[in-house]
């Protein structure tokens, strides 16, 4: 199992809306993530910078690249008013490099 991390950016003043939308994540989206081998997915917020820090585990040969899925594209568009996004509504996402790990 592989662990990856990345960061995204929340628009100012959108903390509560972000939490609200994720508390009610679409069941079919959660199922797609799990079926795609994504698990233990956690997103943290640095409230000083509005940076979202995400960590997820990928099993086997799974890929986090689900951008071609219509459901994922709908979620991106739904979230685009509260996050920094690219032209296709995907969140601006910057991969992070693992520097240390302790089990």
Span 1-28, pLDDT tens digits: 899 999 999 999 999 999 999 999 999 9
Better pLDDT: 45 or 103: 45
So what's the pLDDT on residue 67? Answer: 86
Predicted confidence at residue 64, as pLDDT, reads 64
Please state the rounded mean pLDDT for residues 83-95. Answer: 97
Per the residue annotation, which of 3, 19, 20, 22 is the catalytic one? 22
> Is the pLDDT score of 57 beyond 70?
yes
101 in active site = no
Domain ranges of the chain: 2-95
Distances (CA, A) of 53 to 18, 84, 94: 13, 14, 10
Placement of tokens 């100012």 in the chain: 12
- pLDDT band for position 80 (cuts 50, 70, 90): very high
CA dist 101 to 1, 6, 34, 41, 44, Å?
14, 16, 24, 17, 18
Domain at 2-95, CATH class: alpha beta
């Amino acid at each position: 199992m592989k662990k990856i991390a990345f960061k995204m950016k929340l628009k100012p003043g959108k903390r509560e809306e972000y939490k609200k939308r994720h508390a009610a994540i679409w069941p079919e989206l959660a199922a797609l993530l799990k079926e795609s081998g994504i698990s233990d997915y956690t997103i943290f917020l640095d409230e000083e910078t509005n940076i979202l820090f995400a960590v997820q585990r990928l099993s086997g040969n799974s890929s986090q690249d689900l951008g071609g899925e219509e459901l994922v594209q709908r979620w991106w568009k739904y979230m685009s008013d509260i996050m920094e996004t690219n032209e296709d509504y995907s969140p601006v996402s910057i991969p992070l490099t693992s520097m240390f790990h302790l089990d």
